[in-house]
């Protein structure tokens, strides 16, 4: 089974994800990413290979980041230890420091017992599959083992947070004065930096979910648990609520009445704003096949083209890079603004959403009304042959549903990449129609593709 998943190496901390594995992975990363023209040029100029390391506050991040730093330093890499910071902050700092690569220790929105190791190349960009494969192979190969003055140094990156805050504030088209924001930091990596940044940008800030103890990350708080944020916004009479996940690469929002504003709606708000300001490259938004039909219709009405990719922020980013596009993301709130970031950045996204409220004088509900969200039903059909989604009977059932829905709905069947599951997604003008078609298609999938 491959070591790398869709977003780095992830697993139960001290289960499959041990200190030994983290150290070996770091040593292999030093071998693979410490090579190439830029690294050779750095050595030729008498400079050392450098890396930025950061983590979220879960307790296992302490020993895993220590193991990563030990592996890098033992391979002759000088380490900037940025401490607890969001994943997008780590990506930014790699580029800002002109480091050769970087490592983020985090399991994002997963519960506290899990953890993960995400590796970024020079410039703060995620690794392509081919490089991840090379690192995995290098774990069984010869390592760099310098001695004496050749070993790396580990230094505390004292101004890491300040650099990131200055970067975020510089990205804003206007200040947030006059707006009251409730921030839910998921007891995660944004617990310190997010409130500071929103306050510096001019907002009145109320904070929840910002008391990490190493064990409570994502526990009933953050972007996967929005009820507490909605209640806090209403209780405090705030204008908007912003929710991060554990490593703050995502952002979801709630309006003044506590209604959820998801990633599709956030992308719609930002796309319209950026087009009006001439900042939306080629008037194009990049989204995955799971984005709501309402997003497509709203963007068409605004003269904005939507390019679709497979599910996963890496595919969104690949298409954005290919086309030079400036905005893309997922319904989950993973939004990429390529002018300012190389990955999804929940703080950047939240700041720009609130900045649009300040710029226009409109409420979040008014801004989100640019898009009508079509009812969406997702059914996971388990115990079936995920390779059989092209079965004639399944295709016939899909065609029948699409014919009945016409242009008022959409059908998507997607096989899981890791388990015997087929995901059936249906959007329709009414929740009843969406549920009816989804149930009918799920029955066909279960009947035709059931594993013996």
**Binding site residue list for Mg(2+):** 108, 245, 247, 249
Options 65, 75, 108, 223, the catalytic residue: 108
**Catalytic: 60?**
no
DSSP 127: P
- What are the angstrom distances between the C-alpha of 23 and each of 1, 17, 34, 70, 389? 20, 11, 16, 7, 41
CA 240 to chain centre: 21
Which residues sit opposite 154 in a β-bridge?
79
The encoded tokens of residue 25 equal 């992975």
| Of 343, 107, 350, the residue nearest 247 (C-alpha) | 107
Exposure string for 258-273, b = 16+ CB within 10 A, e = fewer: bebbbbbbbbbbbbbb
Q: Which residues contact 261 (CB under 8 A, 6 or more apart)?
A: 252, 253, 254, 255, 269, 364, 368
Torsion of CA 392, 394, 397, 402, to 10 degrees: -100
Query: DSSP readout, 282-300?
Result: GGEEEEETTS-HHHHHHHH
Distance CA 291, CA 332 (A): 9
Q: Please check whether residue 121 is in contact with residue 200, taking contact to mean a CB–CB distance below 8 angstroms.
A: no
Angle between helices 193-200 and 160-171 (to 10 degrees): 40
Q: Which residues are catalytically annotated?
A: 108
């Amino acid at each position: 089974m491959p070591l790398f998943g869709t977003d780095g190496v992830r697993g139960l901390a001290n289960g499959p994800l041990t200190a030994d594995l983290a150290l070996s992975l770091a040593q292999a990363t030093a071998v693979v990413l410490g090579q190439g023209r830029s690294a050779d040029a750095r050595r030729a100029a008498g400079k050392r290979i450098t890396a930025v390391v950061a983590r979220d506050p879960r307790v296992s991040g302490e020993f895993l980041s220590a193991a990563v730093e030990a592996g890098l330093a033992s391979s002759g890499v000088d380490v900037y230890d940025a401490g607890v910071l969001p994943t997008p902050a780590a990506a930014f700092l790699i580029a800002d420091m002109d480091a050769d690569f970087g490592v983020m220790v985090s399991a994002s929105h997963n519960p506290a017992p899990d953890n993960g190791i995400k590796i970024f190349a020079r410039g703060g960009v995620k690794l392509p599959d081919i490089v991840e494969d090379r690192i995995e192979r290098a774990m069984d190969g010869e390592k760099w083992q310098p001695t004496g003055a050749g070993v790396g140094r580990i230094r505390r990156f004292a101004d890491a947070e300040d650099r990131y805050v200055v970067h975020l504030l510089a990205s804003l088209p206007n200040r947030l004065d006059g707006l009251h924001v409730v921030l839910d930091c998921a007891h995660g990596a944004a617990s310190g930096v997010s409130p500071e940044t929103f306050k510096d940008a001019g907002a009145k800030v109320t904070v929840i979910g910002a008391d990490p103890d190493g064990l409570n990350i994502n526990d009933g708080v953050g972007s996967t648990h929005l009820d507490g944020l909605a209640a806090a916004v209403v209780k405090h009479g705030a204008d908007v609520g912003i929710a991060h996940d554990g490593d703050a690469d995502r952002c979801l929002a709630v309006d003044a009445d506590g209604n959820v504003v998801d990633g599709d709606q956030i992308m719609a708000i930002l796309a319209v704003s950026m087009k009006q300001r001439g900042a939306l490259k080629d008037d194009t938004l990049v989204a995955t096949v799971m984005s709501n039909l309402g997003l497509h219709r709203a963007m068409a009405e605004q003269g904005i083209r939507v390019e679709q990719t497979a599910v996963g922020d890496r595919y969104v980013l690949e298409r954005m890079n290919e086309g030079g596009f400036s905005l893309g993301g997922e319904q989950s709130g993973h939004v990429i603004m390529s002018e300012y970031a190389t990955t999804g950045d929940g703080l950047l996204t939240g700041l720009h959403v609130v900045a649009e409220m300040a710029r226009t004088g409109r409420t979040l509900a008014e801004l989100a009304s640019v898009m009508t969200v079509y009812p969406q039903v997702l059914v996971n059909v388990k115990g079936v042959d995920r390779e059989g989604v092209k079965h004639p009977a399944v295709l016939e059932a899909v065609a029948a549903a699409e014919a009945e829905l016409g242009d008022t709905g959409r059908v998507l069947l997607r096989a899981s990449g890791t388990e015997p599951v087929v995901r059936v997604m249906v959007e329709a003008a009414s929740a009843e129609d969406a549920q009816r078609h989804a149930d009918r298609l799920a029955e066909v999938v279960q009947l035709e593709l059931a594993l013996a």
